[in-house]
């Protein structure tokens, strides 16, 4: 096994080339080199070529700190998401990234693990790291976070939910409305005994809105509120929650899950304990992750436009950064009717 030396101290230490070095190599002033890199059209063809050759020859890369110092911006956007372990966030982030990268920005990611305090910390760190703007998931957080962002003059955009009246622009969808739609459809299939497996709702407005959507549709229809159980996100957790729910309410004909991961776990558990899905128990999800169409039976769920959302959010921060006026945006969701939801037993 080869051992690798870290940064060489002292002796062999050859510094990275600077603008000066390039200027010397190309026999021009540093100003000219800088111009070649930032506004090439103002430099003569011949000089430009000479400079670019020198840049290549020295493998020069401008110093970030110096540039940020002068330009007063870092071309960096920070994002704080609950976790990349949920495909839905990973894909959303990928979309954000694609847009940012195309515009010359980079993404600084941070995750909170669904912990509001960790999220607040992350925002501070991001600010200290010079993020020009930040992306946040959901609305729920201490007002102090928003105040901090405001004093620091750091524009923020909220994703994954849409609040037309918030103090910060939000790009997302109406979690509650989507669940109302799903629930109404289920009601039309005759379901009356309904359970909900939700993610933790504390500090999570998306989860809360989804539950609220279900209850709204039920009360609209004059049906008893759903039995709700909260759990951490995860496949195993979804399964455990289903057992717990059924243990208390064996007569449920439908279990609505807060997301697809929970639903996948619930389906697996249901089958493991011999329940026929959707024959005697229907199960639905939310998000429409890739997995949703692959499980047996395939999952009836709500398709969330994560890519569009990520892209729109990225564009929104960029617009804010450009000093433009940005209105939030509500994106449509779509009910994906598959096999896990059937008529009530």
Partner DNA sequence: TGACGTCTTGTAAGCGCTTACATGACGCCT
Partner DNA sequence: AGGCGTCATGTAAGCGCTTACAAGACGTCA
**Contact footprint for DNA (CB under 7 A):** 15, 18-20, 27-32, 34-35, 37-38, 42-44, 46-48, 60, 62-63, 65-67, 69-71
In whole angstroms, the minimum distance from the beta carbon of 300 to a copy of itself comes to 16
Pairing of strands 170-172, 156-159: parallel
Task: Spell out where 112-215 has E strands.
Answer: 133-137, 156-159, 170-172, 194-199
Note whether 75 binds a copy of itself by CB under 8 A.
yes
Q: Which entry of a copy of itself, DNA, none binds 152, CB below 5 to 8 A by partner kind?
A: a copy of itself
In whole angstroms, the minimum distance from the beta carbon of 316 to a copy of itself comes to 9
> Distance (Å, rounded) from C-alpha 152 to C-alpha 32?
34
Closest CA to 198 of 141, 264, 262, 137: 262
Identify whether the C-beta of residue 77 lies closer than 8 Å to the C-beta of residue 89. Answer: no
- Which helix (H) or strand (E) is 302 found in, with range? strand 301-303
SS3 111: strand
Site track 204-243 with a copy of itself (rule: CB under 8 A), x = hit: -------------------------------x--------
Smaller CB separation from DNA, 29 or 83: 29
In whole angstroms, the minimum distance from the beta carbon of 325 to DNA comes to 24
Non-local CB neighbours of 127 within 8 Å, separated by 6+ positions: 78, 134, 148, 149, 152, 154
User: DSSP letters of 200-239?
Assistant: --TT-HHHHHHHHHHHHHHHHTT-PPPEEEEE-SSHHHHH
Q: Which entry of a copy of itself, DNA, none binds 213, CB below 5 to 8 A by partner kind?
A: none
In whole angstroms, the minimum distance from the beta carbon of 127 to DNA comes to 11
Q: Which entry of a copy of itself, DNA, none binds 97, CB below 5 to 8 A by partner kind?
A: a copy of itself
> Distance (Å, rounded) from C-alpha 213 to C-alpha 182?
9
Residue of 47, 152, 216, 243 interacting with a copy of itself (CB under 8 A): 152
- Give the interface segment with a copy of itself, choosing from 135-143, 165-173, 180-188, 250-258 (CB under 8 A): 165-173
Q: What is the footprint of a copy of itself within residues 79-98 (CB under 8 A)?
A: 83-85, 87, 90-91, 93-94, 97-98
Supply φ then ψ for residue 303, to 5 degrees.
Answer: -80, 125
In whole angstroms, the minimum distance from the beta carbon of 286 to DNA comes to 43
Residues in the chain: 345
- Which helix (H) or strand (E) is 307 found in, with range? helix 306-321
In whole angstroms, the minimum distance from the beta carbon of 321 to DNA comes to 16
> Distance (Å, rounded) from C-alpha 223 to C-alpha 28?
80
Q: What is the signed CA dihedral for 12, 17, 21, 23, rounded to 10 degrees?
A: 170
**Distance separating the N- and C-terminal Cα atoms of the chain:** 63
Residue of 30, 47, 125, 216 interacting with a copy of itself (CB under 8 A): 125
Q: Which entry of a copy of itself, DNA, none binds 83, CB below 5 to 8 A by partner kind?
A: a copy of itself
Q: Which entry of a copy of itself, DNA, none binds 31, CB below 5 to 8 A by partner kind?
A: DNA
Note whether 145 binds a copy of itself by CB under 8 A.
no
Q: Which entry of a copy of itself, DNA, none binds 28, CB below 5 to 8 A by partner kind?
A: DNA
Smaller CB separation from a copy of itself, 321 or 344: 321
Smaller CB separation from a copy of itself, 52 or 319: 319
Smaller CB separation from DNA, 129 or 272: 129
Identify whether the C-beta of residue 169 lies closer than 8 Å to the C-beta of residue 180. Answer: no
């Amino acid at each position: 096994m080869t051992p690798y030396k870290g940064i060489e101290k002292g002796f062999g230490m050859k510094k990275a080339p600077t603008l000066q070095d390039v200027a010397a190599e190309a026999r021009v002033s540093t100003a000219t080199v800088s111009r070649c890199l930032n506004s090439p059209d103002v430099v003569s063809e011949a000089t430009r070529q000479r400079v670019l050759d020198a840049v290549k020859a020295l493998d020069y890369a401008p110093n970030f700190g110096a540039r940020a110092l002068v330009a007063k911006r870092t071309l960096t956007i920070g994002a704080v998401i609950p976790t990349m372990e949920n495909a839905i966030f990973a894909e959303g982030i990928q979309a954000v990234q694609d847009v940012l990268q195309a515009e010359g920005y980079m993404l600084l990611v941070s995750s909170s693990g669904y912990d509001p305090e960790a999220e607040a910390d992350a925002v501070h760190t991001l600010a200290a790291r010079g993020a020009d703007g930040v992306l946040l998931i959901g609305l729920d957080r201490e007002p102090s976070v928003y105040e901090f962002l405001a004093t620091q003059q750091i524009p923020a955009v909220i994703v994954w939910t849409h609040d037309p009246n918030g103090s910060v622009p939000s790009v997302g969808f109406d979690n509650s409305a989507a669940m109302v739609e799903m629930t109404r459809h289920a009601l039309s299939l005759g379901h009356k005994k309904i359970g909900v497996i939700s993610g933790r709702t504390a500090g999570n407005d998306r989860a809360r809105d989804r539950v609220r959507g279900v209850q709204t549709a039920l009360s609209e229809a004059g049906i008893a509120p759903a039995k709700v159980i909260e759990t951490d996100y995860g496949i195993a957790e979804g399964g455990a929650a289903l057992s717990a729910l059924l243990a208390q309410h064996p007569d449920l004909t439908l279990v609505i899950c807060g997301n697809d991961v929970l639903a996948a776990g619930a389906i697996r558990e249901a089958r493991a304990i011999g329940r026929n899905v959707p024959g005697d128990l229907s199960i639905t999800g939310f998000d429409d992750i890739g997995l949703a169409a692959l499980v047996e039976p395939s999952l009836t769920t709500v398709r969330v436009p994560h890519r569009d959302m990520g892209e729109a959010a990225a564009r929104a921060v960029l617009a804010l950064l450009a000093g433009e006026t940005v209105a939030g945006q509500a994106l449509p969701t779509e009910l994906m009717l598959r096999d896990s939801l059937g008529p009530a037993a």
